[in-house]
Amino acid sequence: MTQESPKTQPLSHLDTQGQAQMVDVSAKVPTKREAVAVAQVRMQAATFEAIQAGNAPKGDVLGTARLAGIMAAKQTSQLIPLCHPLPLHKVEVQVMPDSQLPGYQIQASVTTKAETGVEMEALTAVSVAALTLYDMAKALEKSIQIESIRLLSKTGGKSGDYHLTEDDR
């Protein structure tokens, strides 16, 4: 999908005085919208092995991170100043082991039927899941790295569908 340059599009989050504002979406028709975001968490092999074996001092690292991501998606409008509160119909967060990193790949999929999209909810979900994974494992290692938080895809809405391509990675 080709998108217009930001220079040619009016900035909808600014009023005529250049002040930030929440966009009025009341005239838009609610449509089904979905967004998928990803992040990765890199760590030492020993830390990865301890988490996989269930030997982290704080307990269930992966379950806690997954639940934190779901909860975060539901709180996005409270965290990001100009985001609209949305009725979320589905939030799925997966925390998948990746021995090649070593670490974890995190993916969030968020679905709604609303006047605006859920990209920020998906990005917030993976971000907070990654931060929670760090928090739960920091007793094992302080140098854990959170990397590559990005939107993979979004569907629905006036701007159309978006899918990250290999060229964008």
Q: Is 142 exposed, middle or buried (0-12, 13-18, 19+ CB in 10 A)?
A: exposed
Pair 110, 69: CB distance under 8 Å: no
Pair 136, 65: CB distance under 8 Å: yes
Q: In sequence order, what E strands does the chain have?
A: 31-42, 88-98, 103-114, 145-155, 162-163
Just list the catalytic residues. Answer: 135
